Amino acid sequence: MREEALKILEKYWGFNEFRAQQLEVIKSILEGKDSLTLFPTGGGKSICYQVPAMMREGICIVISPLISLMEDQVNALQQKNIKAMAITGGISYDDLDRNLDNCIFGNYKFLYLSPERLQQDIVRERLKQMNINLLAVDEAHCISQWGHDFRPAYRNISEIRELLPGITMAAFTATATKDVVNDICEQLKLQEPVIHKKSFERPNLQYEVIKTEDKYFRLTQLLKGDSAIIYVRSRNATQEISSFLNKNGITAAAYHGGLRKEDKTLRFNDWISNKVSVMVATTAFGMGIDKADVRTVIHIDLPESMESYFQEAGRAGRDGKSARAIVLTNAGDIPVLKNQFLNNLASFEDVKLVYRKLNAFFSIAYGEGENTSHDFNFSGFCHQYQFNANKAYNALQLLDRCSVLRLSQNYQKKTEIMILLSGNHLDNYLDENPRYANLMRTILRNYGGVFDNMVAFNLESVAEKCGIPEDAALKILEELAQKEVIEFNISKYDASISFLVPREDASTLNPLASFIWDYNKVKKQKIDAVLQFVNNDKICRQVQLLGYFGEKNPKTCGKCSVCKKEDTNMSRDDMNEIYLAILRILKTGPKDSREITSLLQYKEESILKVLGLLNEKEIVSRTPNNKYKINKK
């Protein structure tokens, strides 16, 4: 077995030896045992199912959550002359039919499917006709309700066991706590699974938490032209930060879900080829992307869980060379994190109310509604019942997770806009056509990137901010599109709802109360773990991370921001030296903290500490535009 596996490895991948534990995973798969493999990001998980699939007759079915991940894997296999196919969204029924036939009769070795695609009747029927040698489930943490990236459709993968009895199933993930491991095994119905687990230690990775009041300025200090990823939480931030970096001589590109496919491809290729050094992206970017020379991963916003942080940080240094994973934070991040992820959690009472109003919205009577589907305008629903959109969305997600309904978001039918004129030309046009000015300038104030890409926006919200009816706003946009000032796509519906059970309010929802309570409790625990990690400057960052994932007695790394922490207790002489240096600078005129820090060679924390003391003693004060000045005696 070992010799044959090595021949396959060398022939197609060009390696003459497996990494640690890869061969053990391959052996358990070839022996027909179900397995769960936990290797850190960059640990070589895909080899573990690709090699045994190549050693057997038949086709390997790979369940994967992201289209980009599937396409990357398929392209890599095709370049090795291995027949592989990904069935992604946006194809016709005839194309789907033909592709599935090709997998049956065309000697394909790999078929990549999303968990949602796996639910289609035609796909299930054709799978029964295929000679399947392995079912591989990638990013398996998505199946766990306690994981950081729950994907409702993953829950139904286990149904394939009944459809294809006797098929070996191998699940893979880069991050999972003990509870998540148990949940994955239970949800996938793995039979006496072999658990393969590497230590999550990354010896080449240096974890740092840097506290700073000026994150943008700190980026200019940290980024030195090497390949980097900056993770942010909003699309607007990707545009703002990439623009800031480019203006400061650091090549950067923005990457988010609202970009056109061709723009994503162009920006990704520029980054992969190092024409652009920094990718500023929302957190979905990077999953499955094998760029080995990323030297720095920076989180501008606090991550929502230690699992997501570890996975994203792990995209640095996959070549084994020294790399850094940095969190930039300040006191203002904590309320933002709590507001985004905790204050919008849906309680059991919230879920009951949303479910009741949803049935009223679609006029569904008691005992009715089972297996019915409805086009759904989510923003209209929230507006009609005065719901907080984030909390209502989380309530719908919980109802989906509990199989009360299916929420399908139609990402292809968003209300989108792109401005076709340049900034100066648009200003001139709006000056000459003032009836359009209020609406267009409201859009410009609230949505970034509209000159570069199609950007999704909320028409109802924009109209409300302008103080005009929604239909009047729509008419203006249609006129501007006709005049080729903008490109504009309108969608009345942004989702669909499928009810899976009859409407029986109490008996449907009451059994869910304990699950919803537990789910919210776990969410809070995950946020607490993140806050503890960034605030704990006494224990090695690596020790904290490995301890979170259940590793016993992990060793200190010797190079993280805690291990390398210098004594912050300044001597009186040091403080006096910094004090005099600050006064010398301020004598030339008011300066903000960034300007002062950039002009001095001392540590930022020390400078800010002395500035705070000077402010307390009223030796300096702040101007209305937040600059420090010397107070007159």
* Strand residue runs (E) in 429-509: 455-456, 486-489, 495-499
In this structure, are residues 494 and 410 in contact, taking their beta carbons and an 8 Å threshold? yes
pLDDT tens per residue across span 19-28? 889 999 999 9
* Domains in the chain: ranges and CATH: 2-197 (3.40.50.300), 205-330 (3.40.50.300), 340-412+494-503 (1.10.10), 416-489 (1.10.10), 572-630 (1.10.10.10)
Give the angle 290-219-333 at the CA atoms, nearest 5°.
95
In whole angstroms, give the CA distance from residue 518 to residue 292.
Answer: 39
Is 567's pLDDT higher than 50?
no
CB-count exposure of residue 332 (10 Å: 0-12, 13-18, 19+): exposed
Is 150's pLDDT higher than 70?
no
pLDDT tens per residue across span 240-276? 999 999 999 999 999 987 777 788 889 989 999 999 9
Q: How far is CA 187 from CA 156, 176, 399, 526, 550, in A?
A: 8, 14, 18, 21, 21
Q: How far is CA 464 from CA 439, 456, 593, in A?
A: 10, 17, 38
Percent of the chain clearing pLDDT 70 (strictly above) = 95
pLDDT tens per residue across span 467-524? 888 788 888 998 998 888 998 877 666 678 889 889 987 888 998 898 899 889 988 9
Amino acid at 196: H
Confidence of residue 601 (pLDDT cuts 50, 70, 90): confident
| β pairing state of 278-282 and 455-456 | unpaired
pLDDT tens per residue across span 358-381? 999 999 999 999 888 888 888 889
Name the average pLDDT for the chain. 87
* Strand residue runs (E) in 88-175: 110-113, 132-137, 169-173
Of residues 331 and 294, the one with the higher pLDDT is 294
Both tokens of 427, joined, read 């200003």
For the entire predicted model, the pTM comes to 0.70
339 contacts: CB under 8 Å, gap ≥ 6: none
Transcribe 204-272 into DSSP letters.
Answer: TEEEEEEE-S-HHHHHHHH--SS-EEEEESSHHHHHHHHHHHHHTT--EEEE-TTS-HHHHHHHHHHHH
pLDDT tens per residue across span 449-483? 788 878 878 787 788 888 888 788 888 998 998 88
Both tokens of 447, joined, read 């949505």
Confidence of residue 149 (pLDDT cuts 50, 70, 90): low
In this structure, are residues 499 and 514 in contact, taking their beta carbons and an 8 Å threshold? no
Is 412's pLDDT higher than 60?
no
Q: For residue 406, how far is the Cα from the chain centroid?
A: 22
| β pairing state of 228-232 and 628-630 | unpaired
pLDDT of residue 411: 41
Percent of the chain clearing pLDDT 90 (strictly above) = 40
Torsion of CA 578, 582, 584, 585, to 10 degrees: 140
Q: In what order do the strands lie in the sheet with 372-376?
A: 372-376, 495-499, 405-409
Q: In what order do the strands lie in the sheet with 486-489?
A: 455-456, 416-419, 486-489
Q: How far is CA 33 from CA 38, 128, 133, 367, in A?
A: 16, 21, 12, 44
pLDDT tens per residue across span 390-401? 899 999 988 987
